[in-house]
Amino acid sequence: MSLVLQAAPASHVFPADLAREVSETLERRFGFISDNQYTKLETFISKLSPPALVRKPNDQIFHSDELPDTAWEGLQRKAAELVGAGETQHLQFVTAGRGVYITGVLEPQLVRINQSVELQVAALSSLIRELLAYSSVARLPVEEEALRAKYDAHRESDGDLATLTYLQLMLAAQFASRAGCALWVVK
């Protein structure tokens, strides 16, 4: 299996029944609308104006390139070394394949979705701050164009796995922040 970072609604990450449970739990617990994120906005605005005035973003989903299984742990280890585990609490909390970054969370926490599924939930804004601190120490770019250029150059040269993961994670986190969606760390 490989690691993929997805900024998308839960329905793009989980089977339909589980996606519904995840969405309902995140909304109930944090007020975060994971699926159909624009539905409530559309309903509200359409009551005030014609539907044509409701603007949706064209791209509502971001999928990173596939990264090796060990990529996430490699980035966590490198961030802990360079910045400190205490300064990268949200990055360190999430395990690959079991976590999500959303708005509305103050502290990382384990959330039970149903009898068999637990989800590690951390703050998207805190993740971005931690990545900015990491990029400063590691001397890595933060702007989208520079991130993409560095990723392409590193990928072609079989670059450092932690750097490749950072580049994809920063792109995904920025996309999720702009789109107002969740950032899933999935396998």
pLDDT of residue 33: 82
Backbone angles phi, psi at 75, to 5 degrees: -65, -45
pLDDT of residue 55: 47
Strands 62-63 and 4-7: antiparallel
pLDDT in tens, 113-135: 999 999 999 999 999 999 999 99
pLDDT of residue 41: 53
Is 38 domain-assigned? no
For 102, the domain range is 4-33+60-186
The pLDDT of residue 183 is above 70: yes
Backbone angles phi, psi at 101, to 5 degrees: -110, 125
Average pLDDT for the chain: 87
pLDDT in tens, 145-167: 999 999 988 877 766 899 999 99
Report how many domains make up the chain. 1
CA atoms within 13 A on the CB side of 127: 33
Is 22 domain-assigned? yes
Euclidean distance between CA atoms 50 and 64, whole angstroms: 36
Say which residue, 125 or 54, is predicted with more confidence. Answer: 125
The pLDDT of residue 106 is above 80: yes
The pTM is what?
A: 0.86
Is 12 domain-assigned? yes
